[in-house]
Chains A and B, each alone.
Chain A
Amino acid sequence: MTGITPLSHGSLTIKGLQPSEARSSIGYVPQNNQINWNFPLSVKQVVEMGLIRKNTFSPFSTKKNNKIVEESLSKVGLLERIDENINNLSGGQIQRVLLARTLTQGADILLLDEAFSAVDIGAEEDVMNIINDIKQDGKTILIATHDINNIKEKYDEVLCLNRHCCAFGDPSEVLTEGVIEEMYGSHNQILKEHRPGSHGNQNGN
């Protein structure tokens, strides 16, 4: 969806645009291990990255950008930590900072990659509450996760993938034992029987 990995088959459009052309619509929260935590950056610096563009040539922050950063941080409840070193924050707080970064962009679609892999249950709930608040603002939120606990309570729709689409729809309807086994069960047997494009329409969409 971010246009970074080429499609192996089928097609994908976002608001009628190719993924690489629709990047301004997407706010991305990367996996924790994709970030270089060596850099002793402040919370403000990380959130402000959401406002950096190809034509950003000033190392200084404008008043307008500072205001956007402060508003985004107050939405995730971390305004008082604005000058703190990001490495001093807990896993849940870091996720909230990265969410605030996507909010500065004003993107309509938020893409969260394994957002809860480095957070405890309490922090996960806090992040989930913020995500629900963001949803109320009319944004679409997509979360990639391997954790299927409480999916029925947390998510409106679920797309189950294991190299192909196993199921899609209301989690309380589609998340059957068979689908769960198809995703996490005996892969050898499943892969023998399923190939990309064997579900859905002929184009693999």
Chain B
Amino acid sequence: MGIEFLIEPLKYDFMVRALITAFLSGIMLSVLGSFTINKNMGFMADAMAHATLPIIAVGVFFGFSISSLGAPAAIIIALLLGFIIKNTNIGEDTSIGIVFSSFFALGFVLISVLDVSINLEDLLFGQILAVSTLDVFIIFGLSIVVLSTLFFFFKQILFYSFDPIGAQVRDLNVTFLNYLFLIILSLSIVGSLQTVGIVLVLSMLLIPAAAAKLVSQTFVKSIKISAFFGGVSSVAGLYLSYYFNLPSGPTMSLVASGIFGISFISKKLQLNRKLINS
């Protein structure tokens, strides 16, 4: 045990690539997750992950790799979801539900009709141990784009998210900010599909952010703690999956769930202590 425990998996190139990818995905998703949970956009994020299936099916049919399809797929989905929500009056949840289920169904039909060789289990639960060097560069590039966009537009996106009408009166371009957030959210989700897959990407997006919100008082602090939880969940999950021969994506999600459980209990204990002392 000790340092050997940490170094041993690094003997394998695939583990190094997996660790870098998991760490970057974990941080990127959990930082955006802090906005997502406060904007109540969990369902939207889920729809974004599932709606990628037909785009991936068509892309793979034409010879593209799944990771190289990430950015265009993310942008198409973000713009489409944003457009449908803005231009229909059937309610946001309903619009998202329609896009979510229709695209997911279309994806399965296309995979069957086009006879595309996609391992569905890998797509649903991720296959981080199979990431290539190109995949690492793609996720690194995506992380830089997503996190730097959030850095430079932090105040504007926060204002728009907190008080959309006030931001509009202040003459901020709220339509641009809305689509910008949807695009970076979609980029981070689609970019992380290889890591944790369609089904589990939501857990890496929402769970570290929710745990951080429980244990922090301010928004900026919750983003920092969420990034820490996200990074720890990804790396610890990957080490556990290596040593106990567990599926890596689900293990990373379970570590995040464990962190949430601990945060929840410590928050409850803290509240109880306050009640007793008062």
Is B254 engaged at the interface, CB distance under 8 Å to the other chain? no
| A41, B155: Cβ atoms closer than 8 Å | no
Is A117 engaged at the interface, CB distance under 8 Å to the other chain? no
Chain A: residues with Cβ within 8 Å of the partner, total of 31
Is B272 engaged at the interface, CB distance under 8 Å to the other chain? no
Instruction: Determine the residue in chain A with the shortest Cβ distance to B168.
Output: A4
Instruction: Determine the residue in chain A with the shortest Cβ distance to B163.
Output: A35
Q: Which among A24, A30, A45, A105 is the interface contact of B158 at CB below 8 angstroms?
A: A45
Kindly name the residue among A34, A38, A39, A53 whose own CB sees the greatest number of chain B CB atoms within 10 A.
A39
A30 to B165, CA, bound (A): 7
Given A38-B40, A40-B222, A54-B173, A46 contacting B217 (CB threshold 8 A): no
Given A24-B171, A45-B219, A38 contacting B39 (CB threshold 8 A): yes
Total A-B pairs in contact (CB under 8 Å)?
Answer: 94
| B213, A40: Cβ atoms closer than 8 Å | yes
Majority secondary structure of chain B interface residues (helix, strand, loop or mixed): helix
Which residues of chain A are within 8 angstroms of B217 by Cβ–Cβ distance? 40, 85
A28-68 interface bits toward B, Cβ cutoff 8 Å, 1 = contact, 0 = none: 10100011101111100110111011101111000000000
A26 to B171, CA, bound (A): 11
| B156, A36: Cβ atoms closer than 8 Å | no
A59 to B159, CA, bound (A): 12
A53 to B217, CA, bound (A): 26
Q: Which among B158, B166, B171 is the interface contact of A39 at CB below 8 angstroms?
A: B158
**B22-30, B69-77, B146-154 - the one binding chain A:** B146-154
A48 to B172, CA, bound (A): 15
A34 to B152, CA, bound (A): 25
| A36, B162: Cβ atoms closer than 8 Å | yes
A48 to B158, CA, bound (A): 11
| B170, A52: Cβ atoms closer than 8 Å | yes
- Residues of B participating in the A interface, judged by any CB pair closer than 8 Å: 37-40, 151-156, 158-159, 161-173, 213, 216-219, 222
Question: What are 7 pairs between A and B in contact, CB < 8 Å?
Answer: A4-B165, A4-B168, A30-B163, A35-B163, A39-B38, A52-B156, A105-B170
Nearest 8 pairs between A and B by C-beta? A59-B154, A28-B169, A38-B38, A57-B152, A2-B169, A23-B171, A49-B159, A39-B38
Q: A28-B170, A38-B38, A40-B218 are in contact. List 19 more A-B contacts (CB 8 A).
A: A2-B165, A3-B169, A4-B165, A24-B171, A28-B165, A30-B165, A39-B38, A39-B158, A40-B222, A41-B219, A46-B162, A49-B162, A49-B163, A50-B170, A52-B167, A54-B156, A56-B156, A59-B151, A101-B166
